[in-house]
Every structure is written in structure tokens, then in C-alpha cells.
Homo-oligomer: A and B are copies of this chain.
Amino acid sequence: MKRMQIGLIGCGTVGEGVARILLGQQKLLRDRLGMELVLKKVADTDTQRKRSVTFDEGVFTTDASEILSDPEIDVVVEMVGGVGFAKDVIQRAIQAGKHVVTANKKLLALDGNSLFAEAAAKGVTIAYEASVGGCMPIIKTLRENLVANRITAMTGILNGTCNYILSEITRLGLSFEEALGQAQAKGFAEADPTLDIEGFDAAHKLAILAAIAFGMEIDFEGVYVEGISRIEAMDILYADQFGYRIKLLAIAKNHGDRVEARIHPAMIPTDCLLSQVNGSLNAVSVYGDAVEEMMLYGHGAGMMPTASAVVADLADIARDMGRSDGSRLPALGYLSGSIRRIPVMPISEIRTHYYFRVAAADRPGVLSRVSGILGQHNISIMSVHQKERHVSDAVPLVFMTHRAREADMCRALEEIRALPEVCRDPVLIRIEDPSANGRP
């Protein structure tokens, strides 16, 4: 039976999961592939970590070079993470003519364009299904199942930590800090949660997905990023009353010569399936001109769901071993010559609906002054709600607007903030209706 030999560099949580599958599911993989996937070497500097797998004598090493210089190893699985040593590992693997499987969204978001070019030049594959959405097959779906579609938009929940926190605030009425503490206690959030909470992790993933969906270069710098740390329980409560949930959304839209790519908290209607995605789960809705709407849902992180995606990539590489013409698929799903550099629209130019909340002194004329400012900036009000008094003397005024230009909205907010009756910074949350994406 044919064999493919694998070197695993980095045996932390996901790496351990990969090893578990490769060692524990040999029969299943043989039955499906007609090939043997052999975990020949595992490198990690941490020799003390308790792992649920036992390696045969000679498999475990602390020296990644043993893998990178082993001519028998066909594929390197990079599970190091980060952008320093991981990049070095991938580049050395490529130069040695080895295929690479990685889940490293940050590295691909920042350096994917050049790494994919290096791999193509050497005729090897970088497979990265596990880098976005864990076990959700979003990359294969975009590159293969939707090959006949112009993708018009995507809306995703791509960060499980944020979704867990927002779900728990919604479900239990916790404060942001309490929910974050819980997420940390349960292992859904890192000790330093910045990368998740501030939206950067989701932005890395969106940069990769937008490139595949729209046939463009990866442009992480272009992604607008706003996290969830300023979301207050009060706004989640109001959202609920108006029939919305607040989610950290990853949004990409295709305007042909420009795209939108943005990460921010947004209200979505509760009758939209995405709004029902709770806890640490991920989901992504994709709109294509042929399929209209479709959605994938699953665990976006975790040892075994992510390892499942890594091994699926290994299986794909195994099935194509010995292809004379290199990779079966171009890395981003488009031939490199067809990939364009498409500019991302500045956030100031997007148009959407807005929710905003102003805490104002309970004096006559405030409502009129605020709505006057909105009118002067071409923002028309869909509904306004004056809420019972919550905070000292201030009355919360809640507005929902029709579609407006972000730049106009920001200018209006500047003026509203400057009103003497307004007690604190207004809260602004965009409203998205993903199900409207498919419509012209």
C-alpha cells in the first residue's frame, strides 16, 4: 500500500489532536484513501506536557530540523502558531519540496500572498482549511463547490470567544467583564484575550476568505476591525426588545471594482439563522449568484474539530501525490495570473442601518435637536425609543436609522456628542440583515 510520510511540528492542543487521529484512525483512513498516512516524526520543544497520545520510540524530537531535513517526509504539518518560527518552518519545508498543512490564520493573513507564491514556484501545496472556521469546510466550499458562482457577499461568525461572550451576556444578562471571566474559566478565551476580543483573529480569517471568494490578493491591512469590548449589556437587551441579536460579524461584500471587508459587532434580526448561532460555535453565510444563500455551521476551534480539518487536508494531499502537474487547486482558488488587487472600501464609505444610543439630560427639546442633526446629515430615522431612566439623570434615547453613509453618521454623531444635554459618548452599532445580501 502507498504511504505518505508526515512530520508534525508543534504538538500543542491541535497538534496533539492531529496525532491522535493519525495514530487512532489508521484503518478508517486506509479504508477511505487506499493509502497509509504515517506520522513519521513529531517535533516540539515542550517535553513535559501531558499528551493523550504515545509515540513510538524515535518519533518525538525537540528539533524541528530533523523533520525539515528528512527526505522521506512528504508533508510538514505546521502547528507552531505565530509568525516567526512558523514562517521559517513553512519556508524551509517548501524549499525542501515538501507540502505544508497549516492552521495559521495570522501568518497567512499577513504573508499568505508570498508564501503561496513560493509554494507554487516549488510545485508544492500549502493546505489551510483549518485556518478558518475549524471544522467548517468553508475553504473547500468556496474553492470547489462554489466554483461556478460569483460570490457577492459573506457574513460570518468567525470567532468563538466573542460569540461565547455575547451569547452569555444575552442569555444570562452578565456584564462584559463577567462573561469574559467565564469564557476564560471555561477555556474559551486566552489569558490575554486581546486578539479575539478586539476582532483581530476574525479579521485574519476574513482577509483569507475574502481573497478566495472574490479572487483578490489577501489584504489584511484593508480589513476594518472593531471588537466587542465596548458592547454593554444594555444594548444587548435593547437589541433583544427590537428583535435583534448582537454578534461580532465578519462581513465581506463584492462591489466589482471594490470590496467591503469589515469586522465589527452588529445587530442581526432574530429570524436570521446566523443570529441563532450561540456559544463558541462559528457559522458563515455565503451568497453566490447561482446558489443564492448557503450557510455552514460548526466548531471553529478546539482540539478535535480543528484536527479533523488538518487531517482532511492531509488526505487531499495524499490523493494527489504523484500528480505530475503539481497542485490540484491554486491556493486561493484562482490561477495566480487571474488574482487581482482589489481595493477595500474605507469604512467611512459603507452604507448600512445604524442603532445608536444617546444618554441625554431629561430636558425639553433634546429629541428635536438630535433628530435635527440627523436630518441635516441625510440620515432618516426608522424608529426612536425613549427608554425609562437608567443612569442618574440621563435618559437613554435609542434610534434606529434607515440605510445611511458611515461618514455622514460619524459627522452627525460628532455634533450630537457636542450637545450640552448629551452626558456621555453615544453608542453606535451597525445593523446588518445578512438575508438581504443575496438581493440586488
Interface string of A286-313 (1 = CB under 8 A from B): 0011111111111100001101110110
Query: At the interface, yes or no: A50 with Cβ under 8 Å from chain B?
Result: no
Interface residue from B137, B141, B148, B277 paired with A28 (Cβ < 8 Å): B148
Interface residue from B32, B148, B309, B311 paired with A307 (Cβ < 8 Å): B148
Query: At the interface, yes or no: A194 with Cβ under 8 Å from chain B?
Result: no
Query: At the interface, yes or no: A107 with Cβ under 8 Å from chain B?
Result: no
Please state the number of chain copies in the assembly: 2
B-contacting residues, A151-197, CB 8 Å: none
Task: Give the residues in chain B near A135, CB-CB below 8 Å.
Answer: 145, 290-291, 294
* A146 and B299 form a contact (CB under 8 A): no
A210 to chain B, nearest CB (A): 16
Are A290 and B273 CB-contacts (below 8 A) given A296-B296, A309-B145? no
Query: At the interface, yes or no: A25 with Cβ under 8 Å from chain B?
Result: yes
Interface residue from B31, B149, B304 paired with A292 (Cβ < 8 Å): B304
Interface residue from B137, B308, B335 paired with A34 (Cβ < 8 Å): B335
B-contacting residues, A303-356, CB 8 Å: 304-305, 307-309, 311-312, 315-316, 319-320, 322-323, 325, 328-330, 333-335, 338
Query: At the interface, yes or no: A33 with Cβ under 8 Å from chain B?
Result: yes
Task: Give the residues in chain B near A299, CB-CB below 8 Å.
Answer: 291-294
Chain A residues in contact with chain B, CB under 8 A? 17, 21, 25, 28-34, 129, 135-137, 140-141, 143-150, 215, 273, 276-277, 288-299, 304-305, 307-309, 311-312, 315-316, 319-320, 322-323, 325, 328-330, 333-335, 338
